[in-house]
Structure 1
Amino acid sequence: MKVINLMQKPDLPGSLLFQPAGLLALPHSVEVSDALSVNGSGVGGGSNSIKTALGEYFERRHFYREILSSKYGFLSESLTGAEVNSFARAFIQTASRKVSIREVEEHKFTLSKVVRALDFSMCLIPTVCISLSSYGLDDDNFIYPLRDTCGCSFHWCPNLAFFRRREGVS
């Protein structure tokens, strides 16, 4: 069964495709997509397949289209020395050509504002680390060319996502 969103609202998916299992022992499959080719899929029993597909769709949509750059600058402008070193050591492994730690430290990145999970303080990290889109990241793509999302970054409840507990439950 295919459900099409005729409202054409950009904050909602354009269609949901429900594919019931051929045998009762197999899970259902759901595909969610929009007019700009962002897709999410989910497999599972009952509404879990719908929840999984919607979660993947919103995750991909976010990381493809909603990551904004705030600044153009060096890693050291808002990161600690240890954080700069960690990024540099990671990037010399992911780069599509040979680069040194010094080159990474002296490279001007397109940066995005994020919140540290450790203490909830703000900092700037390379947009290329969190955006699946290459748009506007031409100077940084060689440092981190192959990107994907973690597959579990979309949560229904922020408290559960950050603190592993539900609202009002300690």
Structure 2
Amino acid sequence: MALNEDRAWPNVHPENTAETKKVNDAFFGGKAEKKLLNPGMQLYKLTAKGRSLIHNGAASPWWFSTDDFEDAVGLSGVCGFAKHMKVSLTEYARIIAAVTEEWNTMDIIMKAKLKTPVYGFFGQCAQQSKKQGSTINLPGHAYQFYIPGLTEEHIAQVSVESAGCA
């Protein structure tokens, strides 16, 4: 049985309605689709220096596809857009992923690879306030995965590097 096979959208955490609401609110229009992701698929996230893949027995559930995936642009495409806009990868990713300054410094790129089949929920990032109390919103709209329950049984770190584009 693949990880999350028994979960369904929108009630991704039936045991915790507050967590379900948080996850639903993180997707544009509260919509995401359940997708089967195969072993070998590479994912990435911009995160804070010093963070490890596995923390308290689990990996973060929030990821982006390293390669193009359906309507999602992979990391090289995101880098291309950042260069075109003449901003850093961190600045551009913060805007399209709607990652607030309080959540994450986004100073490294962590790449990982799936070891087993998993189901993830795939959709566009909803807008978020730039920082707590701000009236400025980060627009979001990048495509993201939410994959609850990831452990070292399911995912392995591939690399950690400075958040920049080659």
Query: TM class, shorter-chain normalised?
Result: under 0.3
TM-score (norm 2): 0.25
**Larger-gyration structure (1/2):** 1
**Which is richer in helix?**
1
Higher RCO (CA < 8 A, seq sep 6+): 2
**Which is richer in strand?**
2
